[in-house]
Structure 1
């Protein structure tokens, strides 16, 4: 019986149900499926239906003989307007509504899987889903954590108790955001208040829900059998050494999209939004390294005002600078980009710009292309792209590194603030524009990054390291093979 189990490891994946977390989970799940494992992938019903609608990846995966999806209700109706509080509400709702169904999925009461599959031998739980960890541990199923954010943010979140002990969290009223932070080991000379994960800015007291949520999630590091990170060893070796002091077994297997490609996986990138591929044709007509690509991910929002009148006036004016209609983030970005003189491709989700009462049309001119969502990996790899104006989400950052594209970072929340600091000050592959949104800064940074050969050289060198890491004898590839063996050992 033990031998049969060893031949049929069954891994259950439980991702956090937002855009930035599900794609790397799905990529890893597919790679393990191709390694001969049975895979059960849990989604909430809302997220699963949305992915089915907008991405062919789920149907492709579901056709594989050892891959299946199961869904759980989320039941969330949140009254919170702040994204991080929506996240905490979602976790609480899933815990309340899904724990029993999750237990039954892990260990069926009658002892028989409805599909005749072998028992679940391991859970790969999203590090931001404590319920996935707690219930599996209760059912005595081994748990490996996967954190989908940057290693530097993982370590910063783990340092919350020390930051509270030192009085650095919560921030005092009228705090100087440029004051240095000392409570994150190994980053004392690097971090300012504004560089801590943005979600920590919301905390009002040491017992704040946000601090408690991230502290609980981070404490699971020391309880897990291992930790998986979508990163590669040379990128963050110092930070990784600190994390290993808490969780000694770490598998750095990123960039996952490169590893997936190297191991001959053909699944498309799963997305919450329907991709508009017209931008590829537009890029084909642009000179090399002439285009600024702008995308702020799946959560960031902006304010806007009279966009249609503004845009038509811009188009009709030709290439000249614009000096009117100040005061709104969207307009400041648009003014700055236009005044930089560069061509640009901008992903504008239907919900990106608040304050527009009519449906946003998508415009394309010789210099400007707007799309509701883009095939980002393909866009970043296109020779026309000269730089990436990004929210510094970890998936986007890795994709930009892998493509050798320097970044302008405008982080929104969560791990994005600390990741952007590393992009600008540690890795020196871009510039950090956090907490700034004026047209002059945007214009000057776009001009700088598009011609800065030092940044381009640094990110090109890092891209080469990333690509080497996923090759047969590269660190990420070998770590993935070790992970496969580790999971097999758990099923014996």
Structure 2
């Protein structure tokens, strides 16, 4: 029997592309053929996925537009620029193959109208988690109530509509064009309601109450089939070159002794924060592996210069790289903690490896995610009052060597076990995946 074909369209950002390609791999293992449509901006490497066919479309972004500095503008431009070229390639694929459905990132909102014009079912993947997705759906209400303009001590006030969030945890994407923010958010919410299904890289045992809220709000089939990374071989979708020299270095360190520090592929800090982090790590005297990628420090091209005297202090018990193979690092026995920007993929990877966290959220869903890590699952800590070296030193030691950190490790190991059980036969994610396959085959 010929395999039915699924067409995927990932958003060209690391935190979006990786789970989309993982989902494609999962559904390939269920008997579907896979075609990937992608932009030339941040395009994946087809050689890493020999079983898929790849189709590149021009995104017509100028050099200045192909920047993640203003994410809202980038997302708006992508949704505007890709319509005609996407429609043309989808038409070609449909004339050639028996396409069962289109699976896109939820942020590709223009694709709903294209799918409708072809009478093709569209399913969307939301690459962050259901709790933060609900926070995004509440944004118009939060704006109306004045929550988004909260300042000072008001930021610590609870959001009654969505506990355990505080006002400072409400998703924010900083942009020069706030009206575009509203437009992008509104369009993606409306086109999600018109989709034939909504997929999350999460699992019921972790976020059951949030899934209940999503189902009530959207009234479309919702599939909790994560963690994706536990169902596929290690992914090869990194958009940055990985420095694998850190793996043999980790292998020379004692078990659970190393703090892994990485703030993702987009987040940026200022030079003062960079120096506070450096000295906090140095004074903690705990071994660390720190990812300092180009662009981490705002306004500096290339890798930021470290403070004078820093390397002399940490030489011998630290390692600094430009980018790391994160899944492999978190799975390494030497890693005992993860200082993260709280992107959803990173949090899920940390949970899957039983590694407690230090949270440094920057934008979007990250503040929401950090609140769940610290207050709901209680598997991490957060510097609630800014970045000061003495607080960093204390926090690192608390996580890595003190009783508080040991208790967090015990709790995250319980979640790790649940993440493993849910994908086994009869588990919640296993059953949800079976439902998704049956749903697609019913089209």
Same fold (TM over 0.5): yes
Find the aligned partners of 2:76 and 2:356 in 1 and give their Cα distance.
Answer: 38
Give the secondary-structure state (helix, strand or coil) at the position aligned to 1:228: strand
CA RMSD of superposed structures (Å): 2.5
In the alignment, structure 1 residue 147 sits paired with structure 2 residue 126? yes
Measured after TM superposition, the shift of residue 431 of structure 1 is 1.0
Give yes or no for contact 1:227–1:249 (8 Å, CA) kept in 2. yes
Match of 1:386 among 332, 336, 339: 336
Find the aligned partners of 2:274 and 2:66 in 1 and give their Cα distance.
Answer: 19
Find the aligned partners of 1:83 and 1:153 in 2 and give their Cα distance.
Answer: 21
Match of 2:36 among 25, 29, 41: 41
**TM alignment of 1:169-208, pairs within 5 A:** 169=148, 171=149, 176-182=154-160, 184=161, 187-188=162-163, 190-199=164-173, 208=179
Give yes or no for contact 1:9–1:487 (8 Å, CA) kept in 2. no
Give the secondary-structure state (helix, strand or coil) at the position aligned to 1:211: helix
Find the aligned partners of 1:174 and 1:82 in 2 and give their Cα distance.
Answer: 31
Find the aligned partners of 1:288 and 1:423 in 2 and give their Cα distance.
Answer: 23
Measured after TM superposition, the shift of residue 102 of structure 1 is 1.4
**TM alignment of 1:229-308, pairs within 5 A:** 229-245=200-216, 246-260=218-232, 266=233, 268-304=235-271
Find the aligned partners of 2:390 and 2:332 in 1 and give their Cα distance.
Answer: 28
Measured after TM superposition, the shift of residue 435 of structure 1 is 6.2
Give the secondary-structure state (helix, strand or coil) at the position aligned to 2:15: coil
Find the aligned partners of 1:371 and 1:92 in 2 and give their Cα distance.
Answer: 33
Match of 1:376 among 320, 326, 333: 326
Measured after TM superposition, the shift of residue 416 of structure 1 is 0.5
Match of 1:472 among 413, 425, 434: 425
1:395-425 C-alpha deviation (Å, 9 max, x unpaired)? 0000000000000000111111100000000
Contiguous gaps of at least 5 residues in structure 1: 53-57, 261-265, 305-327
In the alignment, structure 1 residue 460 sits paired with structure 2 residue 425? no
Give yes or no for contact 2:159–2:167 (8 Å, CA) kept in 1. yes
Q: What corresponds to 1:433 in structure 2?
A: 383
**TM alignment of 1:9-48, pairs within 5 A:** 9-48=4-43
Give the secondary-structure state (helix, strand or coil) at the position aligned to 1:351: coil
Compared with structure 1, are the counterparts of its residues 197 and 241 closer, same or farther at alpha carbon in structure 2 (3 Å cutoff)? Answer: same
Compared with structure 1, are the counterparts of its residues 481 and 357 closer, same or farther at alpha carbon in structure 2 (3 Å cutoff)? Answer: closer
Give yes or no for contact 2:215–2:222 (8 Å, CA) kept in 1. yes
Compared with structure 1, are the counterparts of its residues 82 and 417 closer, same or farther at alpha carbon in structure 2 (3 Å cutoff)? Answer: farther
Find the aligned partners of 1:358 and 1:413 in 2 and give their Cα distance.
Answer: 22
Give yes or no for contact 2:342–2:370 (8 Å, CA) kept in 1. yes
Contiguous gaps of at least 5 residues in structure 2: none
Give yes or no for contact 1:293–1:344 (8 Å, CA) kept in 2. yes
Give yes or no for contact 1:251–1:480 (8 Å, CA) kept in 2. yes
Give yes or no for contact 2:199–2:225 (8 Å, CA) kept in 1. yes
Give yes or no for contact 1:74–1:94 (8 Å, CA) kept in 2. yes
Compared with structure 1, are the counterparts of its residues 204 and 96 closer, same or farther at alpha carbon in structure 2 (3 Å cutoff)? Answer: closer
Measured after TM superposition, the shift of residue 120 of structure 1 is 2.5
Q: What corresponds to 2:95 in structure 1?
A: 112
Find the aligned partners of 2:144 and 2:117 in 1 and give their Cα distance.
Answer: 31
**TM alignment of 1:351-430, pairs within 5 A:** 351-354=295-298, 365-430=315-380
Q: What corresponds to 1:323 in structure 2?
A: none
Find the aligned partners of 1:233 and 1:126 in 2 and give their Cα distance.
Answer: 21
1:118-155 C-alpha deviation (Å, 9 max, x unpaired)? 14221111111111223212322101110000211111
Whose radius of gyration is greater, 1 or 2? 1
Find the aligned partners of 1:423 and 1:174 in 2 and give their Cα distance.
Answer: 23
After TM superposition, the score normalised by the length of structure 2 is 0.91
Q: Which shifted more, 22-31 or 357-366?
A: 357-366
Give the secondary-structure state (helix, strand or coil) at the position aligned to 2:119: coil
Find the aligned partners of 1:69 and 1:160 in 2 and give their Cα distance.
Answer: 36
Give the secondary-structure state (helix, strand or coil) at the position aligned to 1:46: coil
Q: Which shifted more, 208-217 or 270-279?
A: 208-217
Match of 1:210 among 181, 184, 187: 181
Number of residue pairs matched by the alignment: 433
1:83-105 C-alpha deviation (Å, 9 max, x unpaired)? 57x32322332333321221222
Measured after TM superposition, the shift of residue 22 of structure 1 is 0.2
After TM superposition, the score normalised by the length of structure 1 is 0.82
Give yes or no for contact 1:294–1:345 (8 Å, CA) kept in 2. yes
Find the aligned partners of 1:269 and 1:19 in 2 and give their Cα distance.
Answer: 11
Give the secondary-structure state (helix, strand or coil) at the position aligned to 2:27: helix
Find the aligned partners of 1:359 and 1:23 in 2 and give their Cα distance.
Answer: 24
Measured after TM superposition, the shift of residue 162 of structure 1 is 2.3
Find the aligned partners of 1:69 and 1:337 in 2 and give their Cα distance.
Answer: 43
Measured after TM superposition, the shift of residue 248 of structure 1 is 4.1
Match of 1:97 among 69, 81, 85: 81
Find the aligned partners of 1:92 and 1:198 in 2 and give their Cα distance.
Answer: 16
Give yes or no for contact 1:417–1:434 (8 Å, CA) kept in 2. no
Q: What corresponds to 1:483 in structure 2?
A: 436
